[in-house]
Amino acid sequence: METIQTATSKGNIVLLIHGGAGNFKESDLSPGQQRVYEKYLHEAVEEGYKILEEGGSSLDAVEAAVKIMEDAPVFNAGKGSVLNKEGHVEMDASIMSGKDLKAGAVAMVRHVKNPISAARMVMEKSNHVLLAGSGADEYARSIGMEMKDESYFITPSSLEQWKKANERVPDPKGIDKHGTVGAVALDLHGNLAAATSTGGILNKLTGRIGDSPIIGAGTYADNNTCAVSATGHGEYFIRLTVARSIAALMEYKKISLELAVNEVIQDRLSKLGGNGGVIAVDKNGNFSIDHNTTGMFRAWKTEKKCEVRFFKE
């Protein structure tokens, strides 16, 4: 677990991002692949942090960081999303504001270019929290969001993965990872936010929805406790309400973020048989990253340092 302690006064700004967790190791990624992942993670964390530095909101920061990763073809979110059993993309995303507990989410969208931005619009411009399927796409279109043909999201890599999955041919170069992306942030005003976006599970049944668009499972933020974004086997994260459980442990047991994250990921999730991880930051700027897999694409930036890491320390 990576845990950083910072001062406890307002004025701290922190941004953490992830690009998915899974059982991959250094030998599974060529030096070239590592450079590509590092490039996109670095770009995303810098873009989000710049917003915080300029006094912008944590909501703006997490949305900006996630959009960059949705636009990158190497993550399982936005462009590059995995395909379902029928060969289609079905993307999910959610965002939450810790200041007022407002939240928005979309699920099973196929055409909105940036699902995380659609989730924010659901939060800010509708009376709902979660829209799904063609209704979510139509809502995004009706408010003028950028839309794409489904072919935009399908990359040669995602198509090849889908073909191999249906041929039941093991891919010796395949990496066992959940490429969900996410971000959490604390801004200068002491407000927390969290955002998560994913293409789901490769070859999933049509209509399957994981934890990423479920508030409390894959995403949660509350200024009284923490902001959390999760990645992993969504069914387990839903059953354990992973993101909310971390905040609840802090709220009701009065324990630290580090202890709450460790209890949920290393104890509860592992015992249930699920795998994955979380990034989390508390109201004082302390943050924790934990996963029970061999790898997790992650990066963070504070006023003191910027780090990008892939493998278990």
Active site residues: 180
CA 8 from chain centre, in angstroms, equals 26
Helix (H) or strand (E) holding 161: helix 156-167
SS3 268: helix
Count of other CB atoms within 10 angstroms of residue 305:
8
Buried b (16+ CB within 10 A) or exposed e, 223-235: bebbbbbbbbbbe
DSSP states of 101-147: --EEEEEEESSBS-HHHHHHHHHHHSS-SEEEHHHHHHHHHHTT--B
User: How crowded is the C-beta side of 119, counted as CA atoms within 13 Å?
Assistant: 36
Amino acid (1-letter code) at residue 95: I
Q: CB burial class (10 A; 0-12, 13-18, 19+) of residue 304? A: exposed
C-alpha to C-alpha distance for 94 and 119, rounded to whole angstroms? 5
